[in-house]
Amino acid sequence: MVDIISLPVEFDKERIDGRFRLVNIAAQRARELASGAEPKIKTKANKVSTLAIQEAILNKLEFLTGEEAVKAKEEAKRIDFRRVLEDRRKELELEDLSELEKDLQIYMHEKEEATSSNELYESEE
DSSP string, 22-39: HHHHHHHHHHHHHTTPPP
Query: How confident is the model over 51-69, as a mean pLDDT?
Result: 89
What distance in Å separates the CA atoms of residue 112 and residue 21, rounded to the nearest whole number? Answer: 71
Domain shared by 51 and 70, yes or no: no
pLDDT at 101 over 90: no
Domain shared by 83 and 104, yes or no: yes
Domain shared by 5 and 55, yes or no: yes
What distance in Å separates the CA atoms of residue 75 and residue 88, rounded to the nearest whole number? Answer: 20
Boundaries of domain holding 70: 64-125
Residue 11 has a pLDDT of: 80
Query: How confident is the model over 70-89, as a mean pLDDT?
Result: 82
Percent of the chain's residues with pLDDT above 70: 80
Boundary (domain end) residue, out of 40, 63, 86: 63
Q: How many domains does the chain have?
A: 2
Query: How confident is the model over 87-91, as a mean pLDDT?
Result: 80
- Scored b (16 or more CB within 10 A) or e, 64-102 reads eeeeeeeeeeeeeeeeeeeeeeeeeeeeeeeeeeeeeee
Residue 96 has a pLDDT of: 66
**Angle, vertex CA 94, rays to CA 93 and CA 96, nearest 5:** 65
Q: How confident is the model at residue 12 (pLDDT cuts 50, 70, 90)?
A: confident
Boundary (domain end) residue, out of 41, 63, 85: 63
What distance in Å separates the CA atoms of residue 59 and residue 125, rounded to the nearest whole number? Answer: 89
Q: Which of 22-26, 29-33, 53-57, 79-83 has the lowest mean pLDDT?
A: 79-83
**pLDDT tens per residue, range 17-48:** 888 889 999 999 999 999 999 999 998 888 99
Domain shared by 68 and 56, yes or no: no
What distance in Å separates the CA atoms of residue 122 and residue 114, rounded to the nearest whole number? Answer: 12
Percent of the chain's residues with pLDDT above 90: 22
Domain shared by 85 and 96, yes or no: yes
Residue 92 has a pLDDT of: 75
Domain shared by 7 and 35, yes or no: yes
Domain shared by 79 and 35, yes or no: no
